């Protein structure tokens, strides 16, 4: 009733604004007029912020807003120091993990890229249950959009809750979720690319992390039992990573993504930078639309799942172009168009459940 997108909250803010305006205009006391004039900006500003939040359907609960805006507490544990077996070894922690799963926040350093980023790892409830003691879980690597952070998958999208619900209904299968920081900061967009004379993000995300996760958790090795998915700019990351490393991913989900690289978005100062340093060949190699048209007819690709918001013509057109290219190599690939506001969280939340059902079922078959 009183959540960020509630009509009641908007009505209360309007009433407070009206009362403060009345005080400002009607009272004869100068101090009250000054106080009212100063305070009236607060409900006006709050209404504007909540209106933007409602339009983009970002935060649905105050808890999600506080968790995302406050940021995670403390420093992530270095992966090399993490003793996974001791985290939920016994007692209430183990019982809770068997019901809800467990989220690790880890600092992982890539052996090849030498990058260190914060990574969230969700271990599903089944990971801690005796029946799955010898089971090596498939993995879905989830790439957030920009601006964004990996915890947006949990706090804003609600992916861990959605997966638990779908598994309980028998519509999805358990999987480990790997949610890395794809950019190094919230307001930066590096597009998961190996930067010319800069950070090697593609190597970190597609090679270093999958290899290192196998040393941390009981998971399948990179290959047919690994999936990659992302929304918005993370959708571009997912399709590009899946095509660049076809032997390391078996499934790829693209939620309102784009399919040709653009310039990186950097801050301090705000600017756009060519990730390829003017190298046309590198740009062409990281252009999924071009790549699918040049691959040999019998090339084995990861299985693709494409989705876009029906009300965003740009996303739909991009997805249809990619669909045409993929069908030359993968005739069964399809495009899901969801009603919604378009390029926003409303659409992505609608796309996540069917993507998880499709991908986890395929990953389970690949796991054997």
User: What residue ranges do the domains of the chain occupy?
Assistant: 7-56, 74-367
The whole-number pLDDT of residue 52 equals 45
The whole-number pLDDT of residue 147 equals 85
Beta strands (DSSP E) in the chain are 77-78, 102-109, 116-123, 139-143, 176-180, 223-231, 249-255, 264-266, 271-273, 303-309, 335-338
- Give backbone dihedrals phi and psi of 90, rounded to 5 degrees, phi first: -160, 170
Low-confidence ranges of the chain (pLDDT < 50): 2, 9, 13, 49-53, 55-56, 58-59, 62-70, 73
Asked if the 74-367 domain carries CATH number 3.40.50.1820, the reply is yes
The whole-number pLDDT of residue 110 equals 95
Q: Which residue has the tokens 């993370």?
A: 234
- Give backbone dihedrals phi and psi of 177, rounded to 5 degrees, phi first: -105, 130
The whole-number pLDDT of residue 297 equals 86
123 and 97 in contact (C-beta within 8 Å)? yes
The whole-number pLDDT of residue 304 equals 98
Query: What are the tens digits of pLDDT across the range 93-144?
Result: 788 889 999 999 999 999 999 999 999 999 999 999 999 999 999 999 999 9
256 and 306 in contact (C-beta within 8 Å)? no
The whole-number pLDDT of residue 67 equals 43
The whole-number pLDDT of residue 62 equals 47
């Amino acid at each position: 009733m009183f959540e960020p997108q509630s009509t009641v909250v908007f009505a209360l803010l309007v009433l407070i604004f009206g009362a403060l305006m009345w005080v400002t205009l009607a009272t004869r006391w100068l101090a009250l007029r000054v106080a009212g004039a100063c305070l009236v900006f607060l409900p006006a500003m709050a209404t504007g912020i909540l209106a933007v939040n409602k339009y983009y359907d970002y935060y649905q609960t105050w808890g999600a807003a506080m968790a995302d805006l406050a940021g995670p507490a403390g420093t992530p544990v270095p992966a090399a120091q993490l003793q996974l077996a001791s985290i939920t070894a016994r007692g209430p922690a183990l019982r809770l993990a068997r019901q809800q799963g467990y989220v690790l926040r880890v600092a992982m350093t890539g052996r090849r890229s030498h990058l260190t980023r914060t990574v969230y790892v969700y271990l599903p409830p089944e990971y801690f249950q005796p029946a799955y003691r010898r089971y090596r879980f498939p993995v879905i690597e989830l790439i957030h959009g920009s601006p964004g952070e990996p915890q947006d998958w949990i706090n804003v999208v609600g992916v861990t809750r959605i997966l638990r619900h779908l598994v309980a209904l028998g519509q999805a299968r358990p999987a480990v979720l790997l949610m890395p920081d794809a950019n190094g900061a919230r307001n930066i967009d590096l597009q998961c690319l190996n930067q010319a004379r800069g950070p090697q993000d593609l190597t970190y995300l597609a090679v270093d992390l999958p290899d290192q996760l196998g040393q941390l958790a009981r998971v399948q090795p990179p290959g047919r039992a690994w999936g990659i998915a992302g929304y918005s700019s993370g959708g571009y990351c997912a399709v590009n990573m899946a095509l660049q490393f076809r032997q390391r991913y078996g499934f790829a989900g693209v939620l309102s993504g784009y399919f040709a690289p653009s310039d990186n978005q950097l801050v301090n100062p705000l600017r756009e930078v060519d990730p390829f340093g003017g190298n046309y060949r590198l740009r062409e190699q990281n252009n999924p639309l071009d790549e699918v048209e040049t691959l040999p007819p019998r090339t084995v690709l990861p299985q693709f799942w494409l989705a876009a918001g029906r009300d965003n013509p740009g996303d739909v057109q991009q997805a249809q172009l990619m669909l045409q290219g993929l069908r030359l190599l993968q005739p069964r690939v399809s495009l899901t168009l969801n009603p919604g506001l378009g390029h926003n969280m409303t659409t992505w939340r609608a796309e996540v459940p069917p993507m998880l059902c499709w991908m986890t079922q395929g990953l389970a078959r690949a796991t054997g």
